[in-house]
Amino acid sequence: MAFAELLDRTGGVGLFQALQVFTLFLPSVLLPSHMLIENFSAAVPSHRCWVPLLDNSTAQAGVPGALGPEDLLTVSIPPGPNHEPHRCRRFRQPQWQLLDPNGTATNWSEAATEPCVDGWVYDRSTFTSTFVSEWDLVCDHKDLKPIGQSLYMTGLLIGSFSWGLLSNRFGRKWILNLCCLQVALANIGVIFVSHFFIYCGLRFLSAFAISGIIMTSGMLLVEWTTTRRRAITMTILGCFYSLGQMALGALAFTLRDWRTLQVAVSTPFFAIFLICWWLPESARWLIIMGKPEQGLQELHKVAKINGHKEATKSLTIEVLMSSMEEEMTSAKGHSSVLELFLVPTLRWRTCVMCLVCFSQVTSYYGLVLDLQNLGNDIFLLQVLFGAVDLLARSITAFLLSFLGRRTTLASFQAMAGLSILANKLVPQDWQTLRTVFAVLGKGCFGIIFSCISIYKPELYPTALRMTADGFLQSVGRLGSVIDPLIRMTQQSLPLLVPVVYSALPITSCLVLLIFLPETQGFPLPDTIQDLENQNSRPRQMNRPFLSDPLGRDHAILTSSLEGTEVRKRSSGLFHGQNHHYALLPHL
């Protein structure tokens, strides 16, 4: 954990960290738009079969003038399950007898109907165009929409695993830039497609890259932030996602055509690709991977931005090698996914986190991709979901400081599961109550995601952090792939959906409390040995601090009852002082 000392030497949290957060604002705000855009671009408008009496001017010329559109609809379209015009059937011939006031509404037979062989007519009052209406993904073809969503989630799954390995090999910064460019190109390509399966292919490529942006942006923030500010920094990043959800609702309300909406959320990624080039690579990763010279250059760059120019002289390659020698040696040979299961310290952590990630992603998408079943105004619901998510994420740092990582995560997983169960069991007619439970569940997931983004990196050493993150995100994305398929069973097995969506988070919260450790107050581990030391050393909670004459904070050495371990190095890290005590950042 010596890198925490080096990072503090460059200024800890200063102007560089603020600029880094600001740079990642735009991609973080736009990512929810791509992941949830099909709430609008794939919305299913009201529709009915195309029929000559209503939609062909020549046929309408022979109709008596006394008959209005409602009468023509009655003789052309049979009633559906809800006594509304059927969406997928029409009469072969007009049933004029249905207009007889002495007749009955059932004076027709199923044999007199046929599928919509001439296509459909869509209600365009809410959306001028969705790809569902453009490619007629209704009736017998309605199952293509959830299959397309599953393909998108498959892209997130494969991308999470692939980028986790690649970023551990080639670095965080390069992968971030490459993914931003890929998202821009793939989504711009979507605008020009004329076939649903080509659309699915481009969405798959977009999802593949989006998972890389999510992982690398969060990891860069984590690895450039001190222990004391890590929770707040990741909470701010989470709030950006919430703002993006609100912005999507407002943007979709303004742009009712799905291609126009796609352009609006895609073109900014070309600018993001150019802006992100200034970001420095993770010095922590460079040093652990055996590139200390490059790591030192990045540390010097950060020190200059933070106004600690004297650190460029005191931080030399000798100081760095002496400080990180143990971490560099321990990291060698620990970069394979197999290490997550072969190393005893990591095995239980990985198994439990697999369950946690799978359960929360499955239940989350089961909630947020079902807006049309929650109410009529899906634009307002999207903004409301984003607002509640923002409020929930903004209080995450305070909850973590009082309850810790493990208790906070487990508590809100249980609450999310119960909220989903209540939402699914409430009758469809009680829309207000269903919306209340859905919003409560969405707020719980906001806290869960923020907590996991902080907790997960603290469970793994630097050499395995991106590998573990990629693997766990892949497991989580497996849940998002399965989610549309679960929703397809809602008609035949109505109780399966609420049971699965509620039981998963409740079960994972119990397993989490039993098997995972609390990490609050520990510096970010660099090696497996650091993890083992955490189990035998009390956590560093808030301690009083003094300032030295040079302006750098040092931990006050208190009695041994506090159990605080202060490293003593002769490397000259605090050169020119009487003591060589290195600060251990704390929360």
In SS3 terms, 435-458 reads as HHHHHHHHHHHHHHHHHHHHHCHH
CA angle 129, 135, 138 (to 5 degrees): 95
Residue 74 is assigned to a structural domain of this protein:
yes
Residue 334 pLDDT greater than 80, yes or no: no
Reported as a pLDDT band with limits 50, 70 and 90, residue 262 is very high
Average pLDDT along the chain: 80
Residue type, 35: M
Reported as a pLDDT band with limits 50, 70 and 90, residue 319 is confident
Residue 456 is assigned to a structural domain of this protein:
yes
Contacts of 557-564 spanning 24+ positions with Cβ under 8 A: 557/581, 562/538, 563/537, 563/538, 564/538, 564/540
CA angle 580, 586, 587 (to 5 degrees): 165
Residue 546 is assigned to a structural domain of this protein:
no
Same domain for 115 and 150: no
Reported as a pLDDT band with limits 50, 70 and 90, residue 102 is low
Residue 580 pLDDT greater than 60, yes or no: no
Residue 526 is assigned to a structural domain of this protein:
no
Same domain for 444 and 411: yes
In DSSP notation, 370-402 reads -GGGT-S-HHHHHHHHHHHHHHHHHTHHHHHHH
Reported as a pLDDT band with limits 50, 70 and 90, residue 549 is very low
Per-residue pLDDT averaged across 104-124, rounded?
A: 77
pLDDT score recorded for residue 442: 87
pLDDT score recorded for residue 351: 92
Length of the chain: 587
Reported as a pLDDT band with limits 50, 70 and 90, residue 409 is very high
Same domain for 362 and 411: yes
Residue 556 is assigned to a structural domain of this protein:
no
Question: How many whole angstroms separate alpha carbon 277 and alpha carbon 506?
Answer: 42
Where does a domain end: 99, 122, 145?
122
Same domain for 205 and 84: no
Name the residue with tokens 């503090």. Answer: 8
Residue 503 pLDDT greater than 70, yes or no: yes
Residue 72 is assigned to a structural domain of this protein:
yes
Per-residue pLDDT averaged across 474-488, rounded?
A: 82
Same domain for 222 and 312: yes
What residue numbers bound the domain in which 68 lies?
47-122
Same domain for 197 and 63: no
Percent pLDDT > 90 in the chain is: 21
The pTM of this model reads 0.74
Per-residue pLDDT averaged across 159-172, rounded?
A: 84
Reported as a pLDDT band with limits 50, 70 and 90, residue 556 is very low
Residue 252 is assigned to a structural domain of this protein:
yes
Question: How many whole angstroms separate alpha carbon 41 and alpha carbon 260?
Answer: 10
Per-residue pLDDT averaged across 483-487, rounded?
A: 79
Classify the C-alpha dihedral 185-187-189-195 as positive or negative: positive
Which is more confidently placed, 501 or 485? 501
Alpha carbon separation from 435 to 42, 365, 397 (Å, rounded): 21, 16, 27
Question: How many whole angstroms separate alpha carbon 209 and alpha carbon 177?
Answer: 10
Same domain for 217 and 113: no
Termini Cα distance of the chain: 15
In DSSP notation, 458-490 reads GGS-HHHHHHHHHHHHHHHHHHHHHHHHHHTTT
Where does a domain end: 93, 122, 151?
122
Residue 96 is assigned to a structural domain of this protein:
yes
Same domain for 107 and 92: yes
Per-residue pLDDT averaged across 432-444, rounded?
A: 87
Same domain for 247 and 152: yes
Which is more confidently placed, 295 or 227? 295
Question: How many whole angstroms separate alpha carbon 375 and alpha carbon 583?
Answer: 54
pLDDT score recorded for residue 60: 63
Query: Which H/E stretch holds residue 546?
Result: strand 545-547
Q: Closest by alpha carbon to 46, among 145, 126, 140, 148?
A: 126
Q: What residues contact residue 139 under an 8 Å CB cut-off, 6+ apart?
A: 87, 88, 115, 116, 120
Residue type, 4: A
Per-residue pLDDT averaged across 54-78, rounded?
A: 74
Same domain for 357 and 432: yes
Question: How many whole angstroms separate alpha carbon 550 and alpha carbon 256?
Answer: 59
Same domain for 155 and 277: yes
Question: How many whole angstroms separate alpha carbon 505 and alpha carbon 511?
Answer: 10
Specify the range with the lowest mean pLDDT, choosing from 282-286, 395-399, 522-526: 522-526
Per-residue pLDDT averaged across 387-409, rounded?
A: 88
DSSP SS3 for 113: strand
Which is more confidently placed, 539 or 426? 426
Which is more confidently placed, 323 or 479? 479
Residue 552 pLDDT greater than 60, yes or no: no
pLDDT score recorded for residue 77: 86
Where does a domain end: 122, 150, 168?
122
Question: How many whole angstroms separate alpha carbon 498 and alpha carbon 515?
Answer: 26
**What CATH number does residue 208 fall under?**
1.20.1250.20
Per-residue pLDDT averaged across 393-397, rounded?
A: 85
pLDDT score recorded for residue 181: 94
Which is more confidently placed, 308 or 138? 138
Give the E-state strand segments of 306-385 in sequence order: none
pLDDT score recorded for residue 510: 92
pLDDT score recorded for residue 562: 36
- Total structural domains in the chain? 2
Alpha carbon separation from 145 to 159, 196, 199, 200, 366 (Å, rounded): 21, 9, 11, 10, 15
Same domain for 111 and 26: no
